[in-house]
A and B are shown apart, each in its own frame.
Chain A
Amino acid sequence: MSGIAVPAAAGRLGQVTFRGIVRSEWVKLRTLRSTFLTLAGAMAAMVGFGLLVTSMTAHRWSGMDEAQRAATNPLAQSQIGFFIAQLAVGVLGVLVVSGEYSTGMIRATLSAVPDRLPVLWAKSAVFAVVTWLLMTAAALAAFLGGQAVLRSTGVGLSLGDPGVARAVLGNGLYLTVVGLFGVGLAGVLRNAAGAIACVFGVLLVLPELVKAFPKSLSEAVWPYLPSTAGRAVATVDAGPMALSPWAGFAVFCLYAGAALAAAAVVLKRRDA
């Protein structure tokens, strides 16, 4: 019989390790085009919109009256791109999980790691580190660029000003947790469209609904909404109703943590 020789790999195989799973998830993340498109898009939006809005302000500065000048928030203007960046990062968070289910890759993944849960933790960790590094860099670049543009107006800020460094770094943290919220919801729903609708329903639509509540209820709930709580760390002077920056961020992390915990339960319990 003319056999086909399958080279043996004896002695070169180890056991499943968490380090191995992290490396595997890193390979998966960096080998898809959607990762580059969404992350590059998020960075471009952060820096681009920050420069655009601050440039418009610098251009109009001489024609603005005192009230308009007083209402100008140089930090917020330079970080305005987060509105778009959160869409990109949230979508990527969803896709890294839902992509496994929609393509059937999840069966190969879970055959390699039948314990299942380490896959979710490794995936979240790799995604969080990559997103945090890039979004922090983008927030810094947007801030430095934006303030340089505003220098002529005299209202430009520096990282040394009170709360500014925390808010800029906070924006990177906020965006990272938005993505993790997406990872968790996609793990629960296993479906990209549903998970994306949920992420942005909660972040963008829910506040609008709460505004329509009776005032007392609306004011009581408002600081604890994921979006308001999460933004507290990324702004200076978030308003009288807002939680303190780190308390707000902790609340936001609880939401993402709850989504990830639910994803873990579903991953362990349901057939793949």
Chain B
Amino acid sequence: MIEARSLTKRYGAKTAVADLTFSVRPGVVTGFLGPNGSGKSTTMRMILGLDAPSSGCVTVNGKRYAAHAAPLREVGAMLEARAVHPGRSAFHHLLALAATTGIPRSRVEEVIDVAGLRKVARKRVGGFSLGMGQRLGIATALLGDPATVILDEPVNGLDPEGILWIRTLLKSLAAEGRTVLVSSHLMSEMALTAEHLIVIGRGRLIADAPVAEFTRSAARDVVFVRSAEAARLAALLAGPGVAVAPGERGGIDVTGLASERIGRIAAEHGIAVAELTPRQASLEEAFMELTRDAVEYQPTGRYAAGAAQEGRAA
């Protein structure tokens, strides 16, 4: 169980995490979702006590992480960058960390096998591929047989086989009753792995809900309409709760009206419609919709409109 209360982190004038309150329950995989730079990694570092909150607090199983006598037993973590000295072998890296709490050598060998690193365990980490590095990070996280597992972007750099392995591993860990918090900036990945979602943007909480509920509430139906008189039709459709945006091939994307209703309005005003297509917004679009205002690095200028349109068309 991880509990954050009004967690805030400021770096000078910039607020990386703002008044974040959430809890992560054991037994399910919780996805920690947000665009790049939204404060996910900062939050994870605060959970581990690596960064001190500017205000608020976060506890793991009721205590600050640093207050636990056997910290590796409480939380196993893999943070964003590879937290490994490249000159050391995977085995010695794990052995050094294990030694602090008297974790025996046999346990080091166990996690090497679990992570599939047996063949490269004695090689210097500097020569590892991105995927091998991720596997070592996961082996490190599992070292203390922890009640809580925190992984920052674990699927980055993994091949499809590796991604499937991570998904299965995360679900197994949760099924064993552990608390599992996994960050990602990919909604599609979280939809497959997580049962619960915590979504943040610009350091603020946007959603804290089961995946199914999040999808239902966030995914809004869009109707794509193409017509020679698109502009006139757009004006006729306008009303409260209705949004009209330029779509591909000179058409318009209408949100907030059913396709039947759009067709009837067009017919009543004698507007010929070339195409009328209801479309369910994908989860990815729902996520982008939710976090649009919260994206840290917005494209601006010449390519901004094009990028937005492509995002819509995708």
A interface residues with partner B (beta carbon < 8 Å): 1-10, 12-17, 20-21, 23-28, 31-34, 99-100, 103-115, 271-272
Which residues of chain B come closer than 8 Å to A2, judged between CB atoms?
A: 168
User: Given A27-B95, A108-B83, A3 and B171 touching (CB < 8 A)?
Assistant: yes
The answer to whether B75 and A111 touch across the interface, beta carbons within 8 angstroms, is yes
The answer to whether A13 and B144 touch across the interface, beta carbons within 8 angstroms, is yes
User: Given A2-B168, A3-B168, A271-B50, A15 and B99 touching (CB < 8 A)?
Assistant: no
What's the minimum C-beta distance from A94 to chain B, rounded to whole angstroms?
A: 15
The answer to whether B100 and A107 touch across the interface, beta carbons within 8 angstroms, is no
From B82, B101, B171, A16 is in contact (CB under 8 Å) with: B101
- The answer to the question of B5 belonging to the interface, with a C-beta cut-off of 8 Å to chain A, is no
Which residues of chain A come closer than 8 Å to B51, judged between CB atoms?
A: 271-272
The answer to whether B52 and A13 touch across the interface, beta carbons within 8 angstroms, is no
| Between-chain CB contacts (< 8 Å), 10 pairs | A6-B173, A6-B176, A9-B103, A20-B100, A27-B92, A34-B87, A107-B50, A109-B97, A114-B49, A114-B68
User: Tally of A-B residue pairs with Cβ under 8 A?
Assistant: 146
User: Given A28-B96, A103-B85, A15 and B103 touching (CB < 8 A)?
Assistant: no
- The answer to the question of B72 belonging to the interface, with a C-beta cut-off of 8 Å to chain A, is yes
Which residues of chain B come closer than 8 Å to A1, judged between CB atoms?
A: 168, 171-172, 175
What's the minimum C-beta distance from B91 to chain A, rounded to whole angstroms?
A: 9
The answer to whether A13 and B72 touch across the interface, beta carbons within 8 angstroms, is yes
User: Given A20-B99, A24-B96, A110 and B50 touching (CB < 8 A)?
Assistant: yes
The answer to whether A3 and B172 touch across the interface, beta carbons within 8 angstroms, is yes
Contact with A along B69-86 (1 / 0, CB 8 A): 111110101010111111
CA distance A7 to B49 in the complex (A): 27
CA distance A23 to B101 in the complex (A): 10
CA distance A8 to B110 in the complex (A): 10
From B81, B92, B95, B103, A104 is in contact (CB under 8 Å) with: B81
Q: How many residues of B contact A (CB 8 A)?
A: 53
Which residues of chain A come closer than 8 Å to B50, judged between CB atoms?
A: 107, 110-111, 271-272
Which residues of chain A come closer than 8 Å to B173, judged between CB atoms?
A: 6
What's the minimum C-beta distance from A167 to chain B, rounded to whole angstroms?
A: 36
CA distance A110 to B98 in the complex (A): 13
Query: What residue of chain B has the Cβ atom nearest to residue A19's Cβ?
Result: B102
The answer to whether B77 and A112 touch across the interface, beta carbons within 8 angstroms, is no
Which residues of chain A come closer than 8 Å to B99, judged between CB atoms?
A: 20-21, 23-24, 26-27
User: Given A12-B103, A111-B75, A27 and B82 touching (CB < 8 A)?
Assistant: no
Which residues of chain A come closer than 8 Å to B98, judged between CB atoms?
A: 24
Which residues of chain B come closer than 8 Å to A114, judged between CB atoms?
A: 48-49, 65-66, 68, 71
- The answer to the question of B145 belonging to the interface, with a C-beta cut-off of 8 Å to chain A, is yes
Task: Known A-B contacts: A17-B102, A109-B97. Give 9 more (CB < 8 A).
Answer: A3-B175, A13-B101, A21-B100, A28-B92, A31-B92, A31-B96, A34-B87, A108-B97, A112-B101
What's the minimum C-beta distance from B176 to chain A, rounded to whole angstroms?
A: 7
What's the minimum C-beta distance from A144 to chain B, rounded to whole angstroms?
A: 34
Query: What residue of chain A has the Cβ atom nearest to residue B65's Cβ?
Result: A114
- The answer to the question of B88 belonging to the interface, with a C-beta cut-off of 8 Å to chain A, is yes
CA distance A232 to B175 in the complex (A): 66
The answer to whether B73 and A105 touch across the interface, beta carbons within 8 angstroms, is no
The answer to whether A271 and B83 touch across the interface, beta carbons within 8 angstroms, is no
- The answer to the question of B107 belonging to the interface, with a C-beta cut-off of 8 Å to chain A, is yes
The answer to whether A13 and B96 touch across the interface, beta carbons within 8 angstroms, is no
The answer to whether A4 and B81 touch across the interface, beta carbons within 8 angstroms, is no
The answer to whether A16 and B71 touch across the interface, beta carbons within 8 angstroms, is yes
